[in-house]
Structure 1
Amino acid sequence: MALRRGRRLSKLLLSVTLVFIVGWMLIKHGPVQVSLYDYGYSRLEYSDANHIPQDDSDCSAILQGDMMAIEHAKVLSITSSFLNSTRIPDEHYLELTRDCQRFRSTRKYLEFHLSREEEDFPLAFSLVVHHKVQNFERLLRAIYAPQNFYCIHVDMKAKASVLAAIIAITSCFENVFLASHPVSVVYASWSRVQADINCMSDLYRASPQWKYFINLCGQDFPIKTNLEMVRSLRALAGGNSMESEVMPSGKKSRWKKVHQVVDGKLQRTEQDKAPPPFGIPIFSGGAYIVVNRGFVRAVLEDSKVLALIQWANDTWSPDEFLWATIQRLPGVPGSMRPSPKFDMTDMHAISRLVKWPWHEGEEDSSSAVYPPCHGIYVRSVCVYGAGDLQWMLQQHHLFANKFDTDTDPIAIRCLEEHLRHKALEEIH
């Protein structure tokens, strides 16, 4: 109720301001054409913010693939003085959020929905975070809309400064909240899945209104506006979108043996696991998904899915097969048949755009899936650079992974500026 009152107040203030401006201009200049964008929304553009070091790059040229602009950005991104000037310490967010209204205003959060189409199609997001508060806050700002819902899971191992900063940020929003049951996330273990399931549960209880669930990590970033996401999700017609393929034989060892966490690390034992319950065929996939509300309900309540979840909790990297397998279970809302004809690769799913070194190559390469990474590889995942943006924005995915303000803050700056301008242009 308070959230709806806030929306109505925001729209009323905007209308009063616009009427005043129109009246003043009619008295002074006679009949004129007034743009709602010029007088109502232009303040939300990132380009009119106070100058920051990233603005020394030409984002417009970078997005058009101008090699001189991209090379200039690359030089800046390896210059220690530039990188130091762009970093925001965790403690700074405690100061920024002392006055929440000022924080939301100066950071240019969208505090009102931009279209009826978006208002009528709210989304739910989980964000699993353990460090890099600056990355997290810029991601939240980029995807924030008042009709959506956001569950933030902070790893229980996160530094105190990280937790304090994220608590301070989330406290400034009614529709952004911390996961009620955080866990300590261990790499490749069940805990990574549990973090998402805990947020699924919180979001499911938070509102019956949202239509789709999207899970994120702190180093994701959108490559579509909220309106574009809504339209992509409507086009799914109730379906889900995620990587889901026949399991390669080399990966079957991940769930053929029991794994357990020892001294904070997941280790394989020599104990054989029982076969999957109900003879369920196991599929290969990824950790990130775009699923309808019914899929989430199945994860939380369906007896067959719950049996699969219980069986999978002592395997290696279960997030890379659990969602893909549930997606092929008959009866799960939005699922596909288990036949290989319905396999979906990560390039065809809309959930996440990721570059792997073994799939990159030049344009004339017959085996390359995408052009080389313009950033750096960390654990075999491309951390994008500014030179990746032009290609990236041509793809159909909703999000891309990974971005890092400590590695290339220009890539994020140009992307967020482009998306905000596009979102505001969409209201015309």
Structure 2
Amino acid sequence: MCCCLPSACTSYTYTPTKVVPLAATPSEYIAQLNRQRFPGDYDGVSHVQLPHRQTTDGKQHELYDSATIRLGDSHGQERTAESPGVPNRTSAYYAYRRQTYVVPAIRYTHLVNCAAILANDTAELRRASQVMAARPKVPIYEETYDDWLGDCDNFRRHRGYVEIPLTEEEEQFPLAFSIAMYKDVEQAERLLRAIYQPQNIYCFHIDTKTSLLIHRVMRRLVGCFPNVFIASHLDKIKWGDVSVLLPAINCMRDLVNYHRGKWKYYINLTGQEFPLRTNLELVRIAKIFNGSNDIAGSMERMDMSRVWYHWTHRWSKTYQQTIFFNTMKPKEGPPFNLTFFKGELHGLFSRRMVEYVIKSDVSQRYLEWCWDTGHPSEHYWNVLNYNVKLHAPGGYEGPLNVASEYSFHPIMRAKHWLGMNYPGRVCAGREVRGICVFAVGDLPWLAGRPELFANKFHLTYEYLGLDCLEELHRNRTRGIGVPTLDESFYRRLPTVLYGRKDGLR
């Protein structure tokens, strides 16, 4: 069942937004909007708020409510400073702002008609292929971002970030996100822009193998937002081993220990996916879960060789690279006599489930035991969530056969494992390690999916697919061509029906 039909996506228009200044906004500040825009900017100019400012070490920074703010300097360093006298951003304040605020529109290209592509117009799909062949994607260079980020106010405005909570419902139900990335600053920044709301909180984990330039640029990027940070501990990620799990755990630990806030649910992402639901829809879906987690788990799908033996990396003379392999050395049994479940790395985690993962003795001992297992990212919190005797907050307590069937189509990701899920569907893109990398031809299908995010996209491959999906997402955020959310679909999910309702404070 779908939450949106592609035909519903053809009704939006592209009218440039207007400058809607508040009475207290100086005219000279508004005049700055006429400067040259960056490539890939949003189409038109929206209301801009005059920041409250102070000077620290000769640099200007915008002030926010929190007791401390992160200050990013030109060297990408991060420090904290007290911010006394900052106006309290109350609900009444935001209610006033919402009366005049216009969400920035985003339109990347006038070369194709995205509405026609989303409606599966074969002529427009063919034209898109011709355009991409004639004009390959050139990413925005890291050096360009480094230059742009010299002026945070200008960057946020010209890149079209949402400046205020768009509804009181969203304001009262903040979410937390982590984004694990190792390349493509542009793609990660566009993902942040799509999911960014000032009441939410965002954690980036950057692979330590990544270039120093990307690390520098990302530190400058997070310095432009009071609610975005880089994980306090970064790891080198190796395919298959426990390091794949660590970006999410590192961000969880920081969210629990240092950035507590009022967030209700946590969602872990990678830099190569994109939202299918707006923030308001995410909030309403999370409310339907009402403290339950959406974490996939299946006993039937579990490959027991991954936990019966020790696994490690070694150099392969055959492949001339490091490979992850089974040593065939038997491993001792798990603590607490746990039952194993296979699932996905990504999920929707209730606040108390995140605290359980970070603080409980059970989770810490099981993580230590998992350290030399095979692909622990596909069984770590799946085991915690599905072993009823652990009483994990928001955990699953229903029939295991129902959970196993659901694990093929978890609601968190539209992720096409070729030959495994979505039977009969043909991937319009290309296969990488058994996963469909989405192309323009996949958009009509994605536009009507009920999942929360789509995985995965490559920045330079079939780039109009990501461009048009971003345009669709922003138009839905702006209330243009928005389908009615089919809440009954989500209420019937096994993780909603059989999940514990104790995951929220």
How would you bin the TM-score normalised by the shorter chain?
0.7 to 0.9
Q: Per the alignment, do residues 308 and 257 of structure 1 end up closer, same or farther by CA in structure 2, a change over 3 Å counting?
A: same
Pick aligned residue for 1:2 from 64, 82, 98: 64
The CA deviation at 1:245 is: 0.9
| Consecutive unaligned residues in structure 2, runs of 5 or more | 1-62, 67-85, 316-321, 483-505
Alignment partner of 1:72 is 2:123: no
CA 1:142–1:88: 2 relative to 1, 3 Å: same
CA gap 1:7/1:358 in 2 versus in 1, 3 angstroms: farther
Contact 1:114 1:427 in 2 (8 A): no
Aligned counterpart, 1:159: 211
CA deviation profile, 1:212-244 (whole Å, cap 9, x unmatched): 010001101000000000001101121111221
Distance 2:233 2:150 in 1: 26
Q: 1:221 aligns with which of 274, 292, 296?
A: 274
1:6 and 1:69 mapped to 2: Cα distance? 50
* 1:266 match: secondary structure: strand
Residue number in structure 2 paired with 1:258? 310
Inter-partner Cα distance in structure 2 for 1:326 and 1:91: 43
Conserved 8 A contact 1:112-1:145 = yes
| 1:277 paired to 2:354 | no
Select 2:414's aligned residue among 347, 353, 357.
353
Q: CA deviation at 1:248?
A: 3.1
Contact 1:257 1:271 in 2 (8 A): yes
**Aligned equivalent of 2:141, options 89, 98, 101:** 89
List per-residue Cα deviations over 1:54-76 (Å, max 9, x = no partner). 33111010111111111222233
Q: For the residues of structure 2 that align with 1:256 and 1:386, how far apart are their CA atoms?
A: 42
**Do the aligned partners of residues 370 and 414 (structure 1) sit closer, same or farther apart at CA in structure 2, a change above 3 Å counting?**
farther
**Does the Cα contact within 8 Å between 2:170 and 2:283 map onto a contact in 1?**
yes
Aligned partners of 1:346 and 1:352 also within 8 Å? no
> Out of 110, 113, 116, which is 1:58 matched to?
113
| Structure 1 residue 370: Cα displacement | 5.4
Task: State the match for 1:178 in structure 2.
Answer: 230
Q: Which structure dedicates a bigger proportion of its chain to helix?
A: 1
TM-score under structure 2 length normalisation: 0.73
> SS at 1:191's partner residue?
helix
SS at match of 1:316: coil
What is the CA-CA distance between 1:357 and the residue it aligns to? 1.7
Structure 1 partner of 2:364? 306
Which whole-Å CA distance do the structure 1 matches of 2:475 and 2:240 have between them?
A: 38
Give the aligned CA root-mean-square deviation in angstroms: 2.6
Shift of 1:376: 1.4
> Quick one: which amino acid aligns to residue 415 of structure 2?
V
Structure 1 residues 427 and 369 mapped into 2: Cα distance closer, same or farther (>3 Å)? closer
Q: Distance in 1 between matches of 2:131 and 2:234?
A: 38
List alignment gaps of at least 5 residues for structure 1.
19-35, 361-367
SS of residue paired to 1:214: strand
| Alpha-carbon distance, 1:91 to partner | 1.4
1:427 is displaced (CA, Å) by 13
Decide whether aligned partners of structure 1 residues 374 and 159 sit closer, same or farther in structure 2, where only a CA change above 3 A counts. same
Distance 1:75 1:380 in 2: 27
Q: Which residue of 2 aligns with 1:377?
A: 431
Tell me the equivalent position of 1:198: 250
Q: Deviations over 1:167-196 (max 9, x none)?
A: 121111110000000011111110111221
8 A contact 1:154–1:163 mirrored in 2: yes
* d(CA) in 1 for partners of 2:395, 2:94: 45
Corresponding residue for residue 384 of structure 2? 326
Residue-pair matches, total? 391
Q: In 1, Cα distance between the equivalents of 2:102 and 2:164?
A: 11
The one-letter code matched in structure 2 to 1:212 is: Y
**Aligned-partner Cα distance in 2 for 1:95–1:7:** 32
Identity %: 31
In structure 2, distance between residues paired with 1:2 and 1:420? 25
2: CA distance, partners of 1:133 / 1:202? 22
Bigger Cα displacement from structure 2, 231-240 vs 265-274: 265-274
Residues 159 and 111 (structure 1 numbering): CA distance in 2 closer, same or farther, change over 3 Å? same
Compared CA separation, residues 355 and 13, structure 1 to 2 (3 A): closer
Distance 1:424 1:115 in 2: 12
